[in-house]
Structure 1
Amino acid sequence: MLALICVSGWLNAQLCTGSLGDPVVNITFGTGGGNTSVYTPPGYSYDASTCPNDGFYTITGNTSGCFGNAWHTVNNDHTGGGNFLLVNASYQPADFFLYTVRGLCPNTTYEFSAWIMNVLISPTGIQPNLTFRIETPAGTVLNTFNTGDIPVTPAPQWDQYGFYFTTTAGDPDVVLRITNNAPGGIGNDLALDDISFRPCGPVLNSSILGSADKINICYDDQPGYTFSSVISPGFLNPVFQWQLSTDSAATWKDITGATNLVYQRQPTVAGNYWYRLTVAEEGNSGIQSCRIASNILQINVRPKPQVNAGPDRIMIHGGRVQLSAIATGEDIVHTWLPPDGLNDVSILDPVASPAADTYYALRVTSAYGCVNEDYVMIKVVAGIFVPTAFTPNNDGRNDYWRIPYLDPLMGATVSVFNRYGQLVYQAAGTAVNWDGTFKGIPQNTGTFVYLIQFKDGTPDMKGTINLIR
C-alpha cells in the first residue's frame, strides 16, 4: 500500500508577526527504533509496538496496519528520517505532554510550535482536541491556545500549530502543558513531532544594496557588497551582530566587528556564503537563545574553470598534431581561438594542421559566466634536424645529443648503437637527451648509429653521430 504524507501550514495559530531566531528548544523524539526519547507522557504507558492501545504511547518512525487499517499508514515523521510520539488517548481527557523548558531569556517573546497529525481515517471517530498552555513554574498561565477538533484527512497529513508568549522578568523557565480535551475510545489517536521554541521580535529585514538577496558572482569579478538592515520599533537598547554561515545556514558564526545595521562585505575565496543580522536587547546579546535573526542574504562566489591547453607541440610542415587539453568547472563550454587549422573548435582534443607557427587559446566559460584561458604553441618546422656530433666533456657546451624538433608526443622511438651493434641509448615517446654514457660509463670517441622509428607512418630515419671527447 502506497501512503502519501502531506505537510500543511499553520492552522488557527497565533503567530509571531515579526522576525524569529533559531530554535532554542527542539524536541524531535530522536531517531532509530525503540523509546529513544527521554520524554514519557504523564498517565500513559509505553508500548514497544507501532500500534499502541488506549492509554498507551510509543516512539516510532512509522506505523501501519493498525486496528484493521483504521489508522493511516505513516512512513515518516514530519521532517523524514526521525521519530514521532504516537498516542492512543486514554478514556478520560487529561494532559498528555508536560515538559519544563529551560534556558530561555527573561522578558523575551518566544514562538511555540508543534506538528500534529490525526492518524484516524474514519470521519465518524472521535477527533483530537488539544489545548496548549505555557505556564511559569509556579503555574501562572502566560498564554494558551486551543486547536479545536483536528479533522481527519484523506491522506496522512502533518499540520503545525503554534502561538507566542513572553517570559517573565524574573524566572525565564516555563512549563509546556498539552491537554487532550477529547475522550479516548474509538478515535482520538494522534502523532506529535518537532516541538520548538524560537525567540520572536520586531521585523528585521536585510538587503544587499543594489542587488537581489542571492547573488552568483565570479571570483575574479567580486566587488565589495554593502549589506544593510532595517528594524521596526520594539527594542529598547538593541545590540546588532552580523553572522556568517558556510554550511547552507546550518550553523552560524559571529563576524568580528560587524555590529552595525550596515556591513561591508569584502571579496573572498570561491565558495558559498550565507549572511544574516541578529539582534537582542543589551545584556542578552551574548546569548544565542535571546537573538532574533533577519532574512538570509546569499553570496555564491563561483570559481574560475580550470583549464590546461596541453604541452606545446612541434609539427612537420604539411602534417598534423592532435591537441590534448583538460578543462573542468561548473557546466562549462569551451572553444579554441583562432579556429584556423583546427578540425573542431568545440572539443578538447582537436586535430591541428596550421600552415605556420600558431598560438592557440582555449577559452573555457562556466554556466555563471566565469572565464579562464590557457595557451598552447604549435611550431611548424620543415623537417626534423638531427645533430651529427656532440662533445660530452662537461664544459657546458654541446654536452648532450638532442633532437630539438622531435616532438615527444609523436611517439617516436630513438635508438643509438655502437659500432658492434650494441644498443647504448634509447628514448621512446620522450625527449632525446643522451649524455654519451652507457650504464653510467662514458663512451669513447667514435661514431654511433641512430635509428628513429615513427608510429604514425612517417618513414624511419637513420644516420650517424660522432661522439667527440
Structure 2
Amino acid sequence: MVDITFGAGAAQISDPFPPGITTLNYAYEGCPNDGDYTITNKMDFCYTNDWHKLVKDHTGDPGGRFMVINADYQPSTFFRQQIDGLCGGTTYEFASWVMNLVTLTERNPDITFSLEKPDGTVLQSFNTGEIMPTATPTWKQYPFYFTMPQGITSVVIRMSNNGLGGQGNDLALDDITFRPAGPGIDVSFKDQPGKEITVCQPASDKVTLVAKTDNCILTNNISFQWQQSIDGGTTWVNVSGATQSTRALSLLGVGTYLYRTLVAGDNNTEIVSCRVISDVLTVHVVPATVSSVSIVSSTTTTCQNTPVTFTATPVNPGPAPVYQWQINGVNAGTNSATFSPGNLADNDKVTCILTGENTCSPPATSNSITIGVISPIKKVTVSSTANTICKNEPVTYVAAVDATTTNLTYSWQINGVSTGNTTPTFTSTSLANNNVVSCTVTATIAACSAPIGITATAPAITVQDPAVITLPVTTYTIDEGSSVKIDAAVNVPGATYSWTPATGLNRAEVLNPIALPLKTTSYTLTVTTPGGCTTISQPVTVQVIKNFIVSPNTFTPNADGVNDTWNVAGLADYPNCTVDIYGRNGRQVFHSIGYSKPWDGLADGQLLPVGTYYYVIDLKNGVKPYAGYVSLL
C-alpha cells in the first residue's frame, strides 16, 4: 500500500516528493538548510562536526537512498499521504526507520505518527518521544498499529516533527510503510514436517494444507482464500472453494505446485489493501515409476583373497541413487555402482540394493551371484602357552593350519613387525605388555597365479613387571645374643615374602623380620607378586660378634698326645682372622690366616724353648685385636 524505500542507485541525489507530501523544501544540491530536505545515498560532507556521516541506508546497502531532514524553525509535517480502499476491522501498521543525525545537541527529534480522516479528524496517533543522540549512526524502527473503524475506507497518514529547528532536531528517515499488519500466519502440511514435500502420483489427495493465525486482527470474522501457482510463483490463482483454514488437495498431475493463503477480516481477501499473505508451501508430485537393478561379476570362481568386481546396472534410478552391497545379507562396500571385495569365502552370495531418488519406488534388490573360492588354506589359528606372563618369561606360540597343501611358509610378526621367524612355532622372552603376535601362513598352488596368505592373531599378551626390592643395608653386625630388624621395601602391594634360611628369624614370611642368629648368616628374600612373578634379592648378611675369650694360655708340645697344641676356642667362626705370635725378642715365630691348624710350638720346623710368648689375634670383624701371653712348657 505504502512502501517508500527512497530507491537505490549510483546517482547520489533522487527526485523530490510530489507536491503535497511534505511541507519542507527540497535541497537539490549542497547541504539542506533549516526547513529543507533531500533524498540521497550519502551524507558524509555536511556539518561534519555535528552530524553523523552516513554512507548507506538502514539495510546496509551502500547505494540505498534515505531522506535527510534539517528541521524547520517551527514544527512541521515532513510526510503526508492519503490512502483509499481500506477495510474496517483490519489492523494496519504505520512505521518508519529513524536516526538522530546530530551527535550532540540540546534539541532532539520528537515525531508523531497520526492517522486522520480526510477532513483532518485524528483517529489515532503515536509519539516516539525524544529520540536521543547516539555515539555511532544508529537506525531504529518505530512501528504504530491501528485497527480501522468500520465504515472508514480512506485515511491520511502523517509524520510530524514536534520540535524546533535552528540547532539540532535533524534526522534521517528510511522505509516509510503502511500495510495490513496481520495476523501472523503459520502454514504447514497436516502430519508432515517442513514447508516442502514430495508425493507420489496419485497419492496427492492425502495432502492437507493447514493455516493457523494469531489474534492480530481484532474481528470475529477471519476469512481465508487458498491460492495455487504452477509457474514458480509468478501467477497465483484462487483455489475454488478453498476458503477455510484447512484444504485437502485433489488429485494432481506430475509437477510442482505452490500454495499460499490470503487472510483478511469480513471476507475482504480480494482487497489488496485489507489482506495479508502467508508463506508458500511447495508440493512436488512425481510419477510412481518402479526402480530395479541387476548385477554381473568379473568371474564366478576366484582364488582366496583375490578381488572380484561386481557391477550394478540400474533402471529408473533417478539422478542420485544409493547402492548398498551385501555379502550373505550383511551390508558391505560403499555407495557405488561397482564393488570389489577381496576377502570372499567359498559360496558367498553377493547382492545389491538400489534406493532411487524417486520416493515412490521402494528399494530394489538385485539378482544374487554365488562365488566359488579356491582355498588351499581353510583356517589358521595361533595359540600360546600363556596369555599372562612375567617380564622376560618365555612364551611359545604355535600356528595350527587346516590346509589342502603342505607347500606352506610361515612369517611371525610382533605388532605387525616381522620377527624373522619362519617356522610353525615362535618363542620369545622379550615381549612387552599388550604386544600382539600374529602369523601369516602362505600357500603356493598351481591353480592360483599368486601365493595365498592368511594371517591369524593371538590375543594380546599381558606382561607383568616383577617386584623391585630395595635393601638400604646389606650387612648388619650384632653382638652374640643381640637381634636386628632387617630393613627391606617392595614397590608392589599385596605381594608375599619368603626369607631363606629361616634359621634365626622370628618370622620368615614378613617383609621386615627380626634376626637373632647364633652365628653369622646370609639371608635372601623372595618376593612374589599377586600375578605370580618372583624376584630374589641380593644377600643380606647378619654378622654375629661372639664373646671371644682366649683360653687356655699354656700348652705342652711334648708329643704325649695331651695339650700338644695351643687350641683357641671360637676362632673357627672367623675364617679371615689373623693370628701372630712373637718371642721375647720381638721375632715373629708364628703367623696364620684363619686358625684351621693350631700352633704346635714350632718355628721354622724347630721346637721353641720353654718360655712366655706374646700373641696378637685380629678377628677382622671391626673389633680391636686381642693381645696377651701364652706359655710354652
Partner of residue 238, structure 2: 254
Deviation, structure 1 residue 138: 2.3
The alignment status of 1:219 with 2:219, answered yes or no, reads no
Residues 286-334 of structure 1 deviation map (CA, whole Å, 9 limit, x = unaligned): 32222355x6574676989x999998646244474474889887xx894
Partner of residue 281, structure 1: 266
Partner of residue 527, structure 2: none
Partner of residue 363, structure 1: 355
Deviation, structure 1 residue 68: 2.4
Partner of residue 337, structure 1: 325
Q: 1:207 to 1:362 in 2, by over 3 A?
A: closer
Matches within 5 A, 1:7-406: 24-32=1-9, 33=11, 34-36=13-15, 38-39=17-18, 41-48=22-29, 52-64=32-44, 66-68=46-48, 70-81=50-61, 82-102=64-84, 104-120=85-101, 122-165=103-146, 172-199=153-180, 211=191, 214=194, 217-220=197-200, 223-225=206-208, 227=210, 235=219, 239-244=223-228, 253-265=237-249, 273=258, 275-282=260-267, 284-292=268-276, 296=279, 298=281, 313=296, 315-317=298-300, 318=302, 320-321=308-309, 323=311, 334-339=322-327, 344-347=333-336, 349-351=338-340, 359-363=351-355, 373=363
Task: List gaps (5 residues or longer) in structure 2.
Answer: 373-633
Name the CA distance, whole Å, in 2 between partners of 1:246 and 1:197.
Answer: 30
Name the CA distance, whole Å, in 2 between partners of 1:250 and 1:189.
Answer: 42
Residues 448-468 of structure 1 deviation map (CA, whole Å, 9 limit, x = unaligned): xxxxxxxxxxxxxxxxxxxxx
Q: 1:30 to 1:315 in 2, by over 3 A?
A: same
Deviation, structure 1 residue 131: 1.6
Deviation, structure 1 residue 94: 1.4
Contact 2:226 2:238 in 1 (8 A): yes
Residues 371-426 of structure 1 deviation map (CA, whole Å, 9 limit, x = unaligned): 875676697999xxxxxxxxxxxxxxxxxxxxxxxxxxxxxxxxxxxxxxxxxxxx
1:219 aligns to what SS in structure 2?
strand
Q: 1:53 to 1:106 in 2, by over 3 A?
A: same
Task: List gaps (5 residues or longer) in structure 1.
Answer: 1-23, 383-469
Q: 1:121 to 1:303 in 2, by over 3 A?
A: farther
Name the CA distance, whole Å, in 2 between partners of 1:313 and 1:250.
Answer: 49
Deviation, structure 1 residue 153: 2.7
2:273 aligns to what SS in structure 1?
helix
- Amino acid across the alignment from 1:255: V
Name the CA distance, whole Å, in 2 between partners of 1:35 and 1:185.
Answer: 25
Contact 2:71 2:169 in 1 (8 A): yes
Deviation, structure 1 residue 149: 0.8
- Amino acid across the alignment from 2:72: S
Contact 1:142 1:166 in 2 (8 A): no
Residues 423-444 of structure 1 deviation map (CA, whole Å, 9 limit, x = unaligned): xxxxxxxxxxxxxxxxxxxxxx
Residues 223-250 of structure 1 deviation map (CA, whole Å, 9 limit, x = unaligned): 4325265787955766432245789999
1:289 aligns to what SS in structure 2?
helix
Residues 154-189 of structure 1 deviation map (CA, whole Å, 9 limit, x = unaligned): 333322223344557677333222211222233222
Residues 328-350 of structure 1 deviation map (CA, whole Å, 9 limit, x = unaligned): 87xx8944221469983244554
Contact 2:93 2:180 in 1 (8 A): no
Contact 1:307 1:328 in 2 (8 A): no
Name the CA distance, whole Å, in 2 between partners of 1:44 and 1:29.
Answer: 17
Contact 2:295 2:352 in 1 (8 A): no
1:71 aligns to what SS in structure 2?
coil
Percent identity of equivalent pairs: 30
Deviation, structure 1 residue 134: 2.0
Contact 2:295 2:312 in 1 (8 A): no
Name the CA distance, whole Å, in 2 between partners of 1:249 and 1:77.
Answer: 29
Deviates more, 1:66-75 or 1:316-325: 316-325
Indicate the RMSD between aligned Cα atoms, in angstroms. Answer: 4.9
Q: 1:110 to 1:31 in 2, by over 3 A?
A: farther
Contact 1:116 1:190 in 2 (8 A): no
Computing the radius of gyration over CA atoms, which structure comes out larger, 1 or 2?
A: 2
Please report the TM-score for the alignment, with normalisation by the length of structure 2: 0.45
Q: 1:333 to 1:122 in 2, by over 3 A?
A: farther
Name the CA distance, whole Å, in 2 between partners of 1:196 and 1:251.
Answer: 25
Contact 2:224 2:262 in 1 (8 A): yes
Question: What number of residue pairs does the alignment pair up?
Answer: 350
1:157 aligns to what SS in structure 2?
coil
Deviation, structure 1 residue 27: 1.7
2:210 aligns to what SS in structure 1?
strand
1:155 aligns to what SS in structure 2?
coil
Name the CA distance, whole Å, in 1 between partners of 2:193 and 2:285.
Answer: 16
- Amino acid across the alignment from 1:360: C
Name the CA distance, whole Å, in 1 between partners of 2:280 and 2:192.
Answer: 9
